Amino acid sequence: MTDVTGPSVASARRRAPVPLHPDLESAWLAELASAPGPGLPHQLHVRGTGRHGWLHECGAVAALAPLFRTPVHLDGGITGFRNLGGPVAARLLEVLPEEFLATERQNDGPTIGAALRTVAAHADDVVAHGYLVSPRRCDERVTVEGVLVRAPRDLRVFRTHDDGCECDELVAHAEALGIDDARCRPHEITPWFKTGGEDPWWRLWWD
């Protein structure tokens, strides 16, 4: 008898269900349970501490939990977050190791320490976004890859940064607030939102 379901349907039936968890901590612990154990190969050259579960141990997972209000799916990979504001930034500054704060960055972007200190000090003007790397991986970590910055006035910023572009003023403003240790300018500067009577916000993102 011919299988009329076809290969795509048959493959879908064999596919495991997507693991969803009610909160970040339960998702993190489930990922940690499937991490490489003693005696198994580990990637020793990767970023982070190289110790599986360290973000949970230091309290960073609990600090980040308010950013994940829907069922969480990690599945051994990278999970993005946004709207990292003052209270979360302040708590992360308390629990993350000093060396990690001083060295972890998204490629040539600002260090996570600089970003978190800026958000904590200027919660009404700066919000961060980034991603978490699952504890199943040897490069488990939290990274900030960009910020939303409130501009002091309307600015003309062009994607091509032609003559008349005021991106330099925006970058200087972000640096004055504390986003001051990036190794290069943001790879993307895009308008984010502006509501009636409010100052405009811009997204600064490092690839």
Give tens-digit pLDDT for 60-76. Answer: 999 999 999 778 888 88
Say if 173 falls within a structural domain: yes
pLDDT for 205 beyond 60: yes
Say if 5 falls within a structural domain: no
Per DSSP, the residues of the chain read ---TTHHHHHHHHHSPPPP-BSSHHHHHHHHHHTS--TTS---TTSSS-S-TTHHHHHTHHHHHGGG--S-B--TTSEEEEEEE-HHHHHHHHHHS-HHHHHH-BSTTS-BHHHHHHHHHH-TTTEEEEEEEE-TTSTT-EEEEEEEEEE-SS-----TT--TT--HHHHHHHHHHHT----SS--SEEEEEE--TTS--EEEEE--
Say if 3 falls within a structural domain: no
H/E element, 205: strand 201-205
Say if 13 falls within a structural domain: no
| Position with higher pLDDT, 92 vs 152 | 92
Say if 191 falls within a structural domain: yes
Say if 62 falls within a structural domain: yes
Total domain count for the chain? 1
pLDDT reported for residue 114: 99
pLDDT for 100 beyond 80: yes
pLDDT for 56 beyond 70: yes
Expressed as residue numbers, the domain containing 169 is 20-34+45-205
pLDDT reported for residue 67: 96
| Position with higher pLDDT, 51 vs 91 | 91
| Position with higher pLDDT, 3 vs 29 | 29
Query: pLDDT-based confidence at 119, cuts 50/70/90?
Result: very high
